[in-house]
Amino acid sequence: MRSPDRLWDRGGPEEARPVAQGRRSASFLSSEGLFAWLMISPGLVLMVGLGTLPLVFLVSLSFFRINLTNPAGNRWTGLGNYIRLLADGQFWNSMQVTAIYTISGVALQIVIGMALALFLFRVFPGHKLLRTLIILPVILAPIVVGMLWRTLLLTPRFGALDYISYSVGLGSHEWLTNSRLALLSIIVIHVWQWTPFAFLVFLASLHALPVEPLEAARLDCRSWWQELWYVILPLMAPAIVIVAILRTIAALNAFAAIYAATEGGPGTATQILNLYIHNTAFVGLSIGYGSALGTVQLLITVVVALLFFRFRMRMA
Amino acid sequence: MRPLASSSTAASPRRIRWQALIAYPTLAVILLVWTFPLVWVLVTSIKRRTDIFTAPPTIFFQPTLSNYVFALTARPVLANLRDSLIIATAATLITLAVAVPAGYAYARLRFPLRRQLSFLVLFMQMMPLLGLIVPFFLMLTWLRWTDSYHGLVLVNLSVMVPTATWLMITFFQDLPPEMEEAAAIDGASRWQTFLQVMVPQAAGGAAVTATLAFLTVWNEFLFAVIISGSRVRPVTVGLYGFLQFEESLWGPLMATAVMAMTPIILVSILAQRHLIRGLTLGAVR
């Protein structure tokens, strides 16, 4: 594991060799510049052609009324789709559901992942086996996770978790079809699948912490709690922020597990923005309006990504 | 620097006892919470229907393979697995072929627009999947490329190429400069330096990237459910179709899930070191 002061040095040759900073980079025609462009161009063509251009196309589509069921009605509407969006109750509902899902999901992953990492960060017999087993939910397809929770765990009466809930006196419930429980259930499913990721990252970061401040803290701090609050958590702050941002981006891209578990229902209780875009564009076939919703999703992602970049720059 | 884990001798014996007291129950709870559902999938897949729908759940039962037989004969599971294998393998190979040279160039060479383009790489791997699939669906429909292997490979590449390039950049940056400089002094060409000196050193990183790419494409559902049709259907979509129409056939459903996830679990066990490194790398660095 690298030492913390190297953790954030992700810059290229220029950052690594400050001398080079004032120097102009190699020109297109120099042998280095030409060779480099040959090396990056296949990847660049794929990335721009399959990623950047479709996103530009998405934004342009959002200014048209396009419905695949009625091609004759396709026309330019300017900001029409965005005006419709402002008055669309389903859109605002999906924003609210997305916010609750993302914020509570990420917070729970961090708190639980950190707690588990702190309890288990010493090397103990069997820790390799634990790492092998705990990574399994992360590598499962989200569609499988959603399916397994919907059937084996949460089905009233026959699901294992529902049975446990019933046995301990909490009662049997319609976990995924009751509008008050469904959102909670899909958050639990998300947290179950992804907490092992946060746990493994925090475990790796704890093992990479410098020993000296911790040993000093052990002498200075009166309690384990003080040591945690004043020494360990501040040292872990960069890892926590990175996990928070990465998991936020991932939660904003959530789809398959919810689709398998509730399909956004009951009603619109678990319809996150992604599911609303999907239903608008691919069920209702309103590509224009779906693109406007997709553009909102793009803007949200860009804001989160910029936060990530700013944070990385500050660390560097 | 000494790793923290080895410093337990510095702690008082009382502290160690207290930590062991709390660590082992925590461990048991973790294993129960995160592995029981997976064990339950496996167990249900070999239960007869009468053993599945019982309350309380049965623990002792006569195992059966009939669910596997049913799934394989009534559903096109094998064809779905073949489609997943083709798409994931093709996408992984293409991703590696473009990401390894690009990662090397971004990490080690100086060229115009290097900063701007590496920023774009970082940016593109965070882009929203729903925002990509709406225009992609329209374009593939125009080209009549929906429901085809190349359509599905292309849409997966849109996400995998920037992600893999970024991983390869970090791996090449970590390599020491000495070998590269020695090769230059020996008069090796740029291409020879890359292929014979740098690629062998980055082989571990390429394995991490390949594992992650294969896993991501195999598990991918959103693109697949929109782009695939009756001819080409990855196993994730096949499984969803099964769930949609036969939700109560838990036994065959779980048997299908086991067959769909076995390749992934095998890859993860074989490439375990790579996998954990690949998954946590973006976060720890």
DSSP string, A140-193: S-HHHHHHHIIIIITSTTTSHHHHHHHHTTS----TTTSTTTHHHHHHHHHHHH
> Which domains are present in chain B?
4-65 (no CATH), 70-284 (1.10.3720.10)
Eight-state DSSP code of residue A24: P
Query: Residue A316 has what pLDDT?
Result: 66
Q: Chain B: nearest CA to A209, how far in angstroms?
A: 7
Q: CA dist B217 to A47, A78, B103, B150, Å?
A: 16, 37, 20, 13
Question: What is the distance in angstroms between the Cα of A43 and the nearest Cα belonging to chain B?
Answer: 5
DSSP labels, A246-285: HHHHHHHT--HHHHHHTTT-STTTT--HHHHHHIIIIIS-
If DSSP codes are grouped into helix, strand and coil, which group holds residue A56? helix
Residues A288, A61 contacting (CB under 8 angstroms):
yes
pLDDT of residue A126: 72
CA–CA–CA angle A88, A89, A91 (5° rounding): 70
pLDDT band at B31 (very low <50, low <70, confident <90, very high): confident
**Residues A249/A311, Cβ–Cβ less than 8 Å:** no
Chain A residues 171-190 within an 8 A CB cutoff of chain B: none
A311 in contact with B, Cβ within 8 Å? no
- Identity of the residue in A28, A205, A290 whose CB atom sits nearest the CB atom of B134: A290
pLDDT of res. B12? 54
Question: Which residues are CB-neighbours of B277 under 8 A, at least 6 positions away?
Answer: B208
Q: Can you list the residues of chain A whose pLDDT is less than 70?
A: 1-29, 123-124, 221-222, 316
A298 in contact with B at a CB cutoff of 8 Å?
Answer: yes
Separation between Cα atoms, residue A239 and residue A244, nearest integer Å: 8
Query: Tell me: the pLDDT tens digits for B75-92?
Result: 899 999 999 999 999 999
Partners of B238 in the β-ladder: none
Q: What is the pLDDT of residue A10?
A: 41
Report the C-alpha gap between B10 and A306 in whole angstroms: 42
- In this complex, do A50 and B158 lie within 8 Å of one another by their Cβ atoms? yes
Predicted complex ipTM: 0.89
Residue B274 pLDDT greater than 80, yes or no: no
Dihedral of CA atoms A95, B221, A284, B154 in degrees, nearest 10, equals 110
Q: Where are the alpha helices (DSSP H) in chain B?
A: 13-45, 49-52, 66-74, 77-108, 114-124, 129-142, 149-174, 178-185, 190-192, 199-201, 203-219, 222-227, 235-245, 250-270, 272-284
Q: Taking CB atoms and an 8 Å cut-off, how many pairs form between chains A and B?
A: 344
42-61 in A: which are within 8 Å (CB) of B?
42-44, 46-47, 50-52, 54-55, 57-58, 61
Main-chain phi, psi angles of A65, to 5 degrees: -95, 115
The Cα A131–Cα A200 span in angstroms is 8
Cross-chain CB nearest to B130 (options A8, A214, A278): A278
Q: What is the DSSP letter of B57?
A: P
**Smallest Cα–Cα separation from A233: which of A115, A313, A107?**
A115
Tens-digit pLDDT profile for residues B217-260: 999 999 999 999 889 999 999 999 999 888 888 999 999 999 99
Answer whether B56 sits within 8 Å of A163, measured CB to CB.
Answer: yes
What the block records as the tokens of A244 is 């928070």
Please give the pLDDT value at position B73: 92
Q: Which residue of B has its CA nearest to A60?
A: B135
The overall average pLDDT reported for chain B is 87
What residues contact residue A128 under an 8 Å CB cut-off, 6+ apart?
Answer: none
- Per-residue confidence at B19, pLDDT binned at 50, 70, 90? low
The distance of A163 to chain B (nearest Cα, Å) reads: 7
Q: Are B162 and A51 in contact (CB under 8 A)?
A: yes
What is the pLDDT, as a whole number, of residue A224?
A: 75
Q: What angle do CA B219, B99, B114 make, to 5 degrees?
A: 130
Structural contact between residues B71 and B136, judged by C-beta atoms closer than 8 angstroms: no
How far is Cα A1 from Cα A201, in angstroms, rounded to an integer?
12
Whether the CB of B31 is below 8 Å from some CB of chain A: the reply is: yes
What pLDDT does residue A231 have? 84
A171: alpha, beta or left? (left if phi > 0; alpha if psi -120 to 50): left
Q: With bands split at pLDDT 50, 70 and 90, how would you rate the model's confidence at B157?
A: very high
- Report the percentage of chain B scoring pLDDT > 70: 91
Name the CATH architecture for the domain at A88-315: Orthogonal Bundle (1.10)
Interface of A with B in 184-223 (CB under 8 A): 192, 196-197, 200-201, 204-211, 214-215, 218
Residue among B32, B40, B33 nearest B254 (CA): B40
| Cα–Cα distance for residue pair A312/A206, rounded to 1 Å | 20
Q: Determine the 3-state secondary structure of B45 from DSSP.
A: helix
Q: For chain A, say whether B11 makes contact (Cβ under 8 Å).
A: yes
User: In the prediction, which pLDDT does B277 show?
Assistant: 73
What pLDDT, on the 0 to 100 scale, is given for residue B15?
59
Question: In chain A, where are the structural domains located?
Answer: 88-315
Residues A286, A174 contacting (CB under 8 angstroms): no
- What is the phi/psi pair of residue A75, to 5°? -160, 170
DSSP, res A20: G
